[in-house]
Amino acid sequence: MSRPLERTIEIQARSEAPPLGDARAIPSVSGLPPDLVAQSARRLGIASLIWAALWSFALVMNNFVAPLVSPDKPLDDAWPWPGNPAAILVVTLSLLVFAHTRRQRLAGTRALDVGLGYEIAIALAIGVVNQWTPNVAGLSWICVLVVTHPVIVPNTRRKTLLAALAAASMDPVGLLLTRARGVELPEMSQLVWTYVPNYICAFLAVLPSHVIRRLGQQVSSARRLGSYQLGERVGRGGMGEVYRATHRMLARPAAIKLIRPEMLGTGSPEAALALAQRFRREANAAALLCSPHTIDLYDFGVAEDGTLFYVMELLEGVDLRTLVTRFGPVPAARAIHFLQQACRSLAEAHARGLVHRDIKPSNIHACRFGLEVDFLKVLDFGLVRLEEPALDVSATIPGIMAGTPSFMAPEQALGRAVDRRADLYSLGCVAYWLLTGRLVFEAETPVQMLERHLDGVPDPPSRHAELHVPDELDALILSCLAKKPADRPRDAPELSVALAACAASEPWTAERAQHWWDLHLPHAGFSAMSANAAAISVHQAETAP
């Protein structure tokens, strides 16, 4: 399959038709990108807390503080009888809205619509309390609510206007309730002039909502990279961000990793240009990889602001770091199953002269792949190094460290030339993690970690594993962790054959794998994965896996 990667793709700022397919990756009916809709939902939660605090303050002041300050002055006019039950109901409702927004039970446009209902409920409480004794002096607090709420929780113009008109009518509703109690109301002309500002504010409320909606559309347009529309952010790290994305014509879900040159510490425009050229050449080399166990690289480009971006397939599953952290070390048979698949990916890369240089648990994902489970995908082949010196186009840029100290081969830590056996060392570290849930060496700093890999003698995995580790597997992993490349397995196919020869007490079958996924990740989807976010940490010096 051809993957054109040489072109530099510019960010398209013009308005285009939204993509078909995954609705999570396109603007909602509110006109806002999905992540901005999510921000509006969070702001609704914050606003609900503020209203809860204001009404709680009113309860305390009018029931406890005011009687102490003015014991002889009744508060019937300022805080009539409905004030207490109305305040309690508003506080309760506000806390419920806050709880739901924090538990992510309100998502997308549903959260915005709930916000409109919440606006009307607050206005009703204000109207009832405000008009228990007819109040025709000054502007109503409802005006403030009607104007500010669309800024906090924007929506479509139609919905915003309808909700604002309904909220503006809560003062008249309060007056109708007062009249039903037999209280005489002021003259109609006086009431009209008093509450016309409510309706003026209702029409004005459409303006901020419209402005925010237009800004959201502009943001959505600006966040188109090539043929892909960026959706919600699903990962963030020290080197950049990962977004869910959808191809605008093919409706194909994808993950886009954005890497800004300044975050790589390049320090100068020349270094940034060299970095972009190097990434482009390496991405072209990585695009040649066809193994089903290698993540598919769809596209690559450089935006106008110098941001590098990779478009990758969207994985459905969980990375090995998260898998072990959440569910504990895996049985030896499952570890062998994972490692053999990783070997197939590396074997093809090595055959093409590519060395990964950053094999680690967070760069290897266990996925649902079609009808299969426990299907392994190796990530970050967009940042490989060509093995042959004559073809080496990835000279180290000052300030950038390629690899992760916790999984780095000694020769790589020393800055020497690396070959395929450096990846096998890292894969041995991954095997250690899978079986024990521990790193091969423990250290407090990246420098100390590198020193341990240079000089330390690793314990056999079986010494720290809770589950049985066959002696053959123990010895094989230690051979992968040999300090000298010549003492390790010769290549990935040889390692795969050796893994197959390791006797496991109980084989890892497709039935066992399916049972595990049904039990632990029955609904594993794109949201359950790391969303390729682990790929962000490439080049970072870290001691964690």
Give the pLDDT confidence of 240-254 residue by residue, as tens digits: 678 888 776 776 788
Indicate the average pLDDT of the chain: 78
Q: Which residues pair with 233 in a beta bridge?
A: 243
Domain 316-537, CATH: 1.10.510.10
pLDDT band at 25 (very low <50, low <70, confident <90, very high): very low
User: 219 vs 112, which has greater pLDDT?
Assistant: 112
Task: For the chain, give the percent of residues with pLDDT over 90.
Answer: 34
Q: Which strands form 372-378's sheet, in the order they lie side by side? A: 317-319, 364-369, 372-378
pLDDT value at residue 407: 95
Q: What is the pLDDT of residues 321-373, one digit of tens each?
A: 999 999 999 999 999 999 999 999 999 999 988 898 889 999 999 999 988 99
Q: Which of 240-249, 443-452, 521-530 has the lowest mean pLDDT?
A: 521-530
pLDDT band at 27 (very low <50, low <70, confident <90, very high): very low
Residues 189, 190, 192, 193: what is their CA dihedral angle, to the nearest 10 degrees?
120
Instruction: Reduce the DSSP state of residue 401 to 3 states and report it.
Output: coil
Q: Highest mean pLDDT range out of 7-11, 142-146, 254-258, 530-534?
A: 142-146
Kindly list the domain boundaries of the chain, sorted by start residue.
34-215, 316-537
pLDDT value at residue 390: 33
**Can you give the pTM of this predicted structure?**
0.60
pLDDT value at residue 225: 64
Q: Which of 220-229, 306-315, 394-403, 409-418 has the lowest mean pLDDT?
A: 394-403
Instruction: Reduce the DSSP state of residue 88 to 3 states and report it.
Output: helix
pLDDT value at residue 417: 86
Compute the average pLDDT of residues 516-535.
62
Q: What is the pLDDT of residues 216-271, one digit of tens each?
A: 554 454 456 667 777 777 777 656 678 888 776 776 788 888 776 655 555 566 66
Q: What is the pLDDT of residues 486-522, one digit of tens each?
A: 999 999 999 999 999 997 778 899 999 999 999 999 8
* Catalytic positions, written as ranges: 358
User: Buried (b) or exposed (e) across 414-429, using 16+ Cβ within 10 A?
Assistant: eeeebbbbbbbbbbbb
User: 44 vs 499, which has greater pLDDT?
Assistant: 499
User: 97 vs 428, which has greater pLDDT?
Assistant: 428
Sequence-distant (≥ 6) Cβ neighbours of residue 27 within 8 angstroms = 18, 33, 34, 216, 217, 220
Sign of CA dihedral 506, 511, 517, 522: negative
The answer, yes or no, to whether residue 188 has pLDDT greater than 60, is yes
Q: Give the separation between CA 280 and CA 277, rounded to whole angstroms.
A: 5
Compute the average pLDDT of residues 270-294.
76
Residue at token pair 């309808």: 162
